Amino acid sequence: MPSLIDRLYSFGYILGDTCVEKGLKMSGHGSPRPMTSRRCGPLKGEAHVPGDKSISHRSMILGALSVGETHVTGLLEGSDVLDTAKAMQAFGATVERLGEGEWTIQGVGVGGFAEPEQVIDCGNAGTGVRLIMGAMATSPITATFTGDASLRSRPMGRITDPLALFGAASHGRSGGRLPLTLVGASDPVPVVYTTPVPSAQVKSAVLLAALNAPGETVVIEKEATRDHTERMLAGFGAEITTEVTDEGRVITLKGQPELTGQTIVVPRDPSSAAFPVVAALLVEGSEVLVPNIGQNPTRNGLFTTLVEMGADITFENERIEGGEPVADLRIKYGPLKGIEVSPARAASMIDEYPILSVLAATAEGTTVMRGVKELRVKESDRIDAMARGLEACGVSIEEDEDTFIVHGMGKVPGGAVCKTHLDHRIAMSFMCLGMASEKPVGIDDAGAIETSFPDFLPLMERLGASFRKDNA
């Protein structure tokens, strides 16, 4: 596993008194890294997971759009966020690393982005590229975006369509796919936009674009999605309100504010916490403490679902940090039952369905997940990726465009090598399955795990997991 210094250096940074840009280097994925996970004994100990990826991305972007210095601690230093940091440097902000998870951003203010000299490579970061496009769309500059093979396959029309309403123009591959050049609006206008699908990325891109548009921009979402952007915009000084109406959540932002740099303590990521939490529920005799996990109600749907399945989870030391609710999670192994997950909960746990499907395979009875079509346009088609991998491991599943059903069987046979499709959550999910399956479970490539949870493998091994690098 590369060290943090190696990762920072490979993504265009060097360590010292400051963290300086060496030039926008392509974020190549490298050679595949096959791995195998095998049945292990009880998992014990504390699992300290990375900082929240959603908040880390937004800290970099909003810091760059502010006047003065933003000081961030607890930042997730995975490749996704490092690519966003490089992008902010390319747009003119000064970004420095002070120590582990501690960064400063000297912003250029709303409307102050400079035109980047080189292509913006966002690696695997779907959140990063979509939010960055929104942030630059109402400035009179042009930028070209690319990414790895996975990101280049993902649809960007859901972002570029609403940005066009502000006056931005995009030129990309069919379906609006990367590489894509975005020409920012020279004379932006405010918009009223109803999101066609529940997506915090779409909502956030529109709100970030609205910052440099005059007047009031209104975003209407029929189903609530994670609200980090709204909370953080208000914290940086934007005038933003949210009203719950019969139409849904109506979010109104007054354009052209002066954002002011802030001190941000990034809470631990609930999506990353999902993996040691579920692993402890998978492996007989386990007891694991996962401290400092964000409990924002727009993000914690998985934990509600696990409790409904009968999981022994205690929420200890509940508190508010940096405006976000936080708790320490204590998880103990115990029997679980399949349930029908409320579709209304999908937006609050969309990234956690892959690992939930692993747990569902070991539960008693059937788990039905509806309203999950958004999974098909993530880093991979996550329904297809999990369905094929679970089937290869002996699990019976059903699926359609918007539904994923897993028939629990207690002990999963395992014995397969599962394709990850360059998707970090698919890779980590099958590594967790191997901890409890009768035969080992392999993955074709562990490399993508670096994008969101660089310490996943050693952290799980410290708890008691048994992994093997293949072809090493």
Let me know whether 41 and 66 are in one domain.
no
Report pLDDT for 26.
33
Let me know whether 260 and 288 are in one domain.
no
Which of residues 218, 245, 264 is at a domain's end? Answer: 264
Let me know whether 88 and 164 are in one domain.
yes
Report pLDDT for 75.
95
Tokens of 463: 């708890």
Distances (CA, A) of 226 to 53, 72, 270, 334, 347: 12, 20, 12, 30, 7
Report pLDDT for 174.
87
In a domain, 104, yes or no: yes
Report pLDDT for 211.
98
Let me know whether 206 and 286 are in one domain.
no
CATH number of the CATH domain containing 371:
3.65.10.10
In a domain, 318, yes or no: yes
Catalytic annotation, pick one of 351, 423, 444, 445:
351
In a domain, 19, yes or no: no
Report pLDDT for 176.
86
Let me know whether 369 and 354 are in one domain.
yes
Report pLDDT for 451.
84
In a domain, 2, yes or no: no
Distance CA 302, CA 329 (A): 13
In a domain, 165, yes or no: yes
Which of residues 226, 244, 264 is at a domain's end? Answer: 264
Let me know whether 377 and 360 are in one domain.
yes
Query: Do 380 and 154 contact (CB within 8 A), yes or no?
Result: no
Let me know whether 341 and 457 are in one domain.
yes
In a domain, 22, yes or no: no
In a domain, 23, yes or no: no
Give the contacts of 279 (CB within 8 A, at least 6 positions apart). 43, 286, 288, 432, 435, 460, 463, 465
Residue range of the domain that includes 438:
31-51+267-469
Beta bridge partners of 99: 102
Mean pLDDT by 10 residues, the chain (472 residues): 43 36 41 96 96 94 98 94 97 97 98 97 94 98 95 92 98 92 98 94 97 98 92 96 95 98 92 97 98 91 97 95 85 98 94 98 98 92 97 98 97 97 96 98 95 93 96 58
In a domain, 204, yes or no: yes
Let me know whether 220 and 324 are in one domain.
no
Distance CA 360, CA 362 (A): 5
Let me know whether 224 and 129 are in one domain.
yes
Let me know whether 214 and 292 are in one domain.
no
351 is catalytic: yes
Report pLDDT for 204.
98
Which of residues 245, 264, 283 is at a domain's end? Answer: 264
Let me know whether 46 and 91 are in one domain.
no
Q: Per the structure, how many domains does the chain have?
A: 2
Tokens of 28: 């190549």
Let me know whether 300 and 232 are in one domain.
no
